[in-house]
Structure formats: structure tokens, C-alpha cells
């Protein structure tokens, strides 16, 4: 069975790649989601949960940006220039995974006051929630496509006999 580069990355160097590339960013995003629900439901403006949310948001944003840079240089460019992708499924899995930076980096920048300075705390909360949700969506799409055997795509023309 052929596997996507996404799944290969997670399976290699066990358990470290799984921890570095999956567990840390996704657990942080889930912590953001849980604390976000507490903040929204209880209208929390300050305190421990708000501080935890802020620290995790900054950490995860910069941590995932590092992952993005590393994988773009060491995986995306070589696979693209060498024609090493395992069908479009592979590109979708890796592409959606790396697109997480579009959602996590702005969270870190917002928490540091670099972007969205003129927004109210309620507007920032809404943006934060949308960004966390966006990351979870693209991460799950990456996981789903990452688990697909890319060989089935090349053998799909026979499905019209069903």
C-alpha cells in the first residue's frame, strides 16, 4: 500500500514526528478551543483561563509557523521540483496541513497586539474563535486525506462499473 507524505512524516521517527508535527499543534489548538468556549460562555475578560488562552495562542502560532517553514523547505519544494507527490490526494493532505499557518500565525500576532489593534475585545474574540475553528477544519481535512491510500485515486476509473 502506498501512503501519503503526510502519513509517512507522522509514521517516521516514532514517536517524535508524531509528537512534533501532530500532537503539539493539535493539542494546543484543542486547548485554545476549550478555553475559548469558557471565555465566550462565561464572558471572561481576564484571569487564568484568559492568560492560558493567550499563552497557548502565541506559542502555537509561532510553533506552527516554524513547522510550516521547515516542511516547506524540506518537503514541499523538493517534492514539487522532483515530481515526488503521490497523486493529488498527497498534495491536498500536505497542503491543508500547512495551510494551518494561515489561521495560527494571526492568533499569535493578534495576542501580541501586532494586528487587529483597533478592534474591540468582542471583535477580537470573534476573530480568534474563527481562526481557531479554521485551523481545526484544515487540520482535520489534512488528516482525512492523509489517511487515504493515494493508489486508489489512480485506479478509480473502474468505479463507473458500479
Separation of alpha carbons 9 and 55, rounded Å: 27
159 belongs to a structural domain: no
Q: What is the DSSP letter of 162?
A: -
Share of the chain above pLDDT 70, in %: 94
Q: Which of 11, 9, 142, 131 is nearest to 60 (CA)?
A: 131
Q: How many domains does the chain have?
A: 1
54 belongs to a structural domain: yes
List Cα–Cα distances, 14 to 19, 21, 31, in angstroms: 9, 11, 24
Strand, coil or helix: what is 83?
coil
**pTM, full prediction:** 0.89
pLDDT of residue 158: 42
Mean pLDDT of the chain: 91
67 belongs to a structural domain: yes
pLDDT by residue (tens digit) across 92-120? 999 999 999 999 999 999 999 999 999 99
158 belongs to a structural domain: no
For range 36-45, the mean pLDDT? 92
69 belongs to a structural domain: yes
For range 30-55, the mean pLDDT? 94
63 belongs to a structural domain: yes
Cis check: omega of the bond before 90, within 30 degrees of 0:
no
Burial of 81 (0-12, 13-18, 19+ CB in 10 A): exposed
- The parent domain of residue 104 ranges over 5-151
66 belongs to a structural domain: yes
160 belongs to a structural domain: no
Amino acid at each position: 500500500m502506498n501512503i501519503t507524505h503526510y502519513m509517512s512524516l507522522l509514521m517516521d521517527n516514532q514517536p517524535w514526528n508524531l509528537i512534533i508535527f501532530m500532537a503539539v499543534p493539535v493539542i494546543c489548538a484543542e486547548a485554545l478551543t476549550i478555553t475559548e468556549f469558557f471565555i465566550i460562555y462565561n464572558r471572561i475578560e481576564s484571569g487564568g483561563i484568559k492568560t492560558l488562552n493567550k499563552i497557548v495562542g502565541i506559542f502555537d502560532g509561532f510553533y506552527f509557523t516554524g513547522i510550516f517553514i521547515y516542511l516547506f523547505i524540506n518537503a514541499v519544494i523538493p517534492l514539487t521540483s522532483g515530481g515526488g507527490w503521490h497523486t493529488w490526494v498527497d498534495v491536498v493532505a500536505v497542503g491543508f496541513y500547512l495551510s494551518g499557518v494561515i489561521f495560527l500565525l494571526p492568533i499569535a500576532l493578534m495576542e501580541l497586539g501586532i494586528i487587529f489593534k483597533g478592534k474591540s475585545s468582542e471583535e477580537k474574540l470573534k476573530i480568534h474563535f474563527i481562526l481557531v475553528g479554521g485551523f481545526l477544519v484544515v487540520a482535520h481535512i489534512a488528516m482525512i486525506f492523509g489517511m487515504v491510500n493515494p493508489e486508489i485515486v489512480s485506479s478509480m476509473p473502474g468505479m463507473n462499473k458500479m
